[in-house]
Chains A and B, each alone.
Chain A
Amino acid sequence: MRPVLRRIWGLMYRHLALYRRSWPRLLELAYWPILQMCIWGFTASFLASRAGSRLGGGFAIATGTLLGGVLLWEVALRSQMGVAVSFLEELWSRNLGHVFVSPLRPWELVAALIGMSVVRMVMGVAPAIALAWVLYAYNLFTLGPILVVFFANLMVMGWWVALGVVSLILRHGAGAESLAWSVLFGLTPFSAVFYPVSVLPAALRPVALALPSAHVFEGMRAILYQGVVRWDHLAWAFALNAVWSLAAIGVFARQFHAARVRGALLNVGE
């Protein structure tokens, strides 16, 4: 294995070894996606029983919008937490000093955190997707191959948000750690997960349209309601992800450098 890949694997192995013997951590991965799926799934079932046959096929589409939105948004949330919480694990274990004096480059650290984010996302979201199929006969994969593009965009969005959170932790220490759980939730109203951007007040629409997630969910609804792939929305999602990712990388690089100037890398947990 090449040294670069070995270093990235080394840090991933550290986290995988941790999960192997920590069932609370494993449980936590799938807990929230399953809980969300249950809440929204039963809500959809209740509405279906009340609406009866009046909505006809429209109800199935509405249910698909709701459950598809829940599952896809979990992809972004779990991806973001995968990076941020993995970084926090290093901080909590007071291991960062050893990691930063090893030959592991900062970008390799980020690559390892992203690798762990993919593992955590799959372990968290896959049970929820299976549960949606078992309990509500909802199959996310009926969206077709375009689902891969949706997943990719939402994962990348989770990563750049997480990189911003990691930058804040480098800047402000463990005091900023609660952002790892809260920051992307704060973007939920603007991400148009369950409703179109047009529902938002005019002043908030530019905020929503500046987020890749809003374009992904507009794209999802276009498939569900009109049966068409809105490539324009997907192009916007990719372009915005590229811009935000570059910005997040810049902020991370700057904060990492600033932490080295301040001497914060040895005591970033304090």
Chain B
Amino acid sequence: MDVITVKSLTKRYGRALAVDRIDFSVPAGATVGLLGGNGAGKTTTLAMLLGLLIPTAGSVHVLGHDIARDRFAALARMNFSSPYVALPHRLKVAENLRVYGHLYDVPHTERRIRELADQLDLHDLLDRPAGELSAGQKTRVALAKSLINRPELLLMDEPTASLDPDSGDLVRTWLERYRAESGCTILLASHNMAEVERLCSFVLMMRQGRIVDRGSPAELLDRYGRDDLEEVFLDIARDRRQREPAKVDQ
């Protein structure tokens, strides 16, 4: 069963075409990477999946719900994490998590907060204001917020941006474990090719609002004759030729 189904999704701002008739689906339990340079349309696509942005054309179904008509039913079962959207700085970490426990109607919120604190090593941070945390600590708290409702679908916009290698690795390790244990579906927008190679079973490559290639990391490496995804990314960003035509029937 597909958790996300996107058909002919288009977003136009005046004359500018931000997303151009993209189609893709994400099966349950998969971790899919959405890759592309700045302005490729990744964040716009995520915003349309979340119902924050109304498409110009096309449709988005998430967890069986048409986002155009019934986005709140889907939103209750999914969550979102981005380093570019903050949590209130003056609130303590526990208070922030409590707020989202209420907003997502999480049963036994306090118990859930303790569980997340155990899993993400947050106990020492719970009584500290969110604004006083380091970038790595903020990322762990943002992750806890995005998991407060045990989401079936997790949308992540550059989850390890601005983290040092050690903190980034901890987050990636935790995401791998969480997905394996919960069966959660993850759609990950990222610039970090090593991260995508490690976490994602399937990759959608975007350029200028279009999905220009797709496949597993191994398929893409083979198709472009490269050793790592960063080189593939550069090939696509600079419109270099691939070794053979892409399969487009995902």
Residues of A within 8 A of B (CB): 3, 6-7, 9-11, 13-14, 17-18, 21-22, 89, 93-95, 97-105, 257, 260-263, 265-266
Contact = CB atoms under 8 A, between A and B. Distances in A.
Given A10-B103, A13-B102, A17-B95, A98 B72 contact: no
Contact of B72 (A94, A105, A262): A105
B126 interface: no
Nearest to A21: B90
B100 A97 contact: no
A176 B90 CA distance: 24
Given A17-B99, A94-B85, A98-B100, 14 more contacts: A13-B98, A13-B102, A17-B95, A95-B85, A99-B103, A102-B75, A102-B103, A103-B75, A103-B105, A260-B54, A263-B44, A265-B52, A265-B53, A266-B43
28 contacts: A7-B105, A10-B98, A10-B100, A11-B102, A13-B95, A13-B98, A13-B99, A14-B91, A14-B95, A17-B92, A18-B90, A94-B86, A95-B87, A95-B88, A97-B52, A97-B80, A98-B145, A100-B52, A101-B50, A101-B79, A101-B80, A102-B75, A103-B76, A261-B54, A265-B53, A266-B47, A266-B52, A266-B85
B52 A3 contact: no
A7 B102 contact: yes
Contact of B47 (A94, A99, A263): A263
Contact of A22 (B90, B103, B105): B90
Max count, chain B CB within 10 A of own CB: residue among A94, A98, A257: A98
Interface of B: 11, 13, 43-44, 47, 50-54, 72, 75-76, 79-80, 82, 84-92, 95, 98-105, 145
Contacts of A6: 102, 105
Q: Which 5 A-B pairs have the closest CB atoms?
A: A10-B102, A97-B85, A94-B86, A102-B103, A3-B105
A18 B91 contact: yes
Contacts of B91: 14, 17-18
Contacts of A11: 99, 102-103
A20 to B, nearest CB: 9
Contacts of A7: 102-103, 105
A257 B71 CA distance: 14
A41 B105 CA distance: 48
Contacts of B99: 10-11, 13-14, 17
Contacts of B47: 263, 266
A235 to B, nearest CB: 38
Contact of B88 (A93, A97, A265): A93
A22 B89 CA distance: 12
Given A98-B145, A101-B52, A101-B75, A9 B102 contact: yes
Contacts of A89: 88
A93 B50 CA distance: 20
Nearest to A262: B13
Contacts of A260: 51-54
Contacts of A266: 43, 47, 52, 85
